[in-house]
Structure 1
Amino acid sequence: MLIFLYGPDTYRIQEKTEEIVAEYKKKYSSGLNLVEIDMSEKDISDLRAVTEVVSMFSEKKLIVLSYVFGVGSVEKELSGYFIDKKIIDDKDVVVVIKGDAGAGKSCLSVGRQDKKSKNKSDLQDFLTKNAKCQEFIYFNFLQLKKWVNGWLKKEGMEINERALSKLIDFIGNDLWQMKQELLKLSAFVLNCGNNIIGETDVESLVKPKVNVDIFLMVDSLARKDRITTMKLLRKHLEKGEEELYILNMFVYQFRNIIQMKDLADRGENEQDIAKKLKMHPYVLKKSFDQAKSFSLPELKKIYRMMLQADLCIKTGKVKPDTALDLLVMDITK
Structure 2
Amino acid sequence: MSENPPVVYLLHGEDEFAMAQFIEQISGKLGEPATADMNTTRLEGNTLDLEKLAGMAGATPFLASRRLVIIDNPTRRLSQKAQQDRFIQIIENLPASTALVLVENKNLKESHWLVKWSRSSGKRAFIKAFSVPKGGAMANWIRTHAKKQGGEFAHQAASLLAELVGSDVRQAALEIDKLLAYVNYSRPVEMDDVDHVAASTSGQGDYFAFMDALGNGNGRAAMDMMHKLLEEQEPLQLFFGLIGQFRLLLLTREVIEEGGTEASAVEALGIHPFRAKKLYGHAKSLNLNTLEAIYHRLLDYDAEIKTGKIKPELALDTLVATLTI
TM-score normalised according to structure 2 size:
0.50
Counterpart in the other structure of 1:268 = none
1:198 aligns with 2:190: yes
Partners of 1:169 and 1:129 lie apart in 2 by 40
**Structure 2 residue corresponding to 1:110, chosen from 108, 111, 128:** 108
Q: Which residue of 1 aligns with 2:96?
A: 91
CA separation of 1:7/1:236 partners in 2, compared to 1, >3 Å: closer, same or farther? Answer: farther
> Are the structure 2 counterparts of residues 3 and 56 from structure 1 closer, same or farther at C-alpha, using a change threshold of 3 Å?
closer
Does 1:50 find its partner at 2:56? Answer: yes
What CA deviation, in whole Å up to 9, does each residue of 1:313-332 have, x standing for no partner?
Answer: xxxxxxxxxxxxxxxxxxxx
Q: Which of the numbers 57, 63, 71 marks the counterpart of 2:69?
A: 63
Q: Tell me the alpha carbon deviations over residues 26-48 of structure 1, each in whole angstroms, 9 at most, x when there is no partner.
A: 9xx95487322222566445523
Aligned AA for 1:94? A
User: Which residue number corresponds to residue 207 of structure 1?
Assistant: 200
Secondary structure of 1:16's aligned partner: helix
Structure of higher CA gyration radius:
1
Q: Which residue of 1 aligns with 2:88?
A: 82
Q: Which residue of 1 aligns with 2:17?
A: 11
1:52-76: CA deviation from partner (whole Å, max 9, x where unpaired)? 4456779443322224343458997
1:239-250, aligned counterparts within 5 Å?
Answer: 239=269, 241=270, 249=272
Q: Output the amino acid matched with 1:14.
A: A
Q: Measured at CA, do residues 167 and 85 of structure 1 come closer, stay the same or move farther in structure 2, by a change above 3 Å?
A: closer
Query: 1:231/1:91 Cα in 2 relative to 1: closer, same or farther (>3 Å)?
Result: same
SS class of match (1:62):
strand
Q: Equivalences for 1:303-318 in 2 at 5 Å?
A: none
> Larger relative CO (CA 8 A, sep 6+): 1 or 2?
1
User: Paired residue for 1:134?
Assistant: 128
Shift of 1:22: 2.3
Amino acid at match of 1:133: I
Are residues 183 and 55 of structure 1, via their aligned partners in 2, closer, same or farther at CA, if it must alter by over 3 Å? closer
Say how many residue pairs are matched. 212
Cα distance change on mapping 1:152 and 1:74 into 2, 3 Å = farther
Gap change, CA 1:133 and 1:236, over 3 Å in 2: farther
CA 1:19–1:206: 2 relative to 1, 3 Å? same
- Name the SS for the 2:10 alignment partner: strand
Aligned runs of 1:159-198 on 2, under 5 Å? 159-190=153-184, 195-198=187-190
Which 10-residue stretch deviates more, 90-99 or 162-171?
A: 90-99
> How far 1:2 sits from its partner (Å)?
1.8
The amino acid of 1:167's aligned partner reads L
**Contact 1:38–1:67 (CA<8 Å) still a contact in 2?**
no
Shift of 1:51: 2.9
Matched residue, 1:148: 142
Could you tell me which runs of 5 or more consecutive residues in structure 2 were left unpaired when the two chains were aligned. Answer: 1-6, 209-259, 279-325
Partner of 1:265: none
CA deviation after TM superposition for structure 1 residue 83, in Å: 0.9
Check the 8 A contact 2:58/2:98 in 1, yes or no: no
Deviation at 1:236?
A: 4.3
Q: Distance in 2 between matches of 1:24 and 1:65?
A: 18
Q: Once the two structures are aligned, what percentage of the paired residues are identical?
A: 15
Letter in 2 for 1:173: S
User: Quick one: structure 1 residues 174 and 55, their matched pair in 2 at CA, closer, same or farther if it must change by over 3 Å?
Assistant: closer
**Residues 231 and 31 (structure 1 numbering): CA distance in 2 closer, same or farther, change over 3 Å?**
closer
Q: Which moved more, 1:2-11 or 1:47-56?
A: 47-56
Give the 3-state SS of the residue equivalent to 1:94 in structure 2.
Answer: strand
Kindly report the root-mean-square deviation, in angstroms, between the aligned alpha carbons of the 2 structures.
4.4
Residue equivalent to 2:224: none
- Tell me whether 178-187 or 35-44 shows the greater mean CA deviation: 35-44
Residue of structure 2 equivalent to 1:310? none
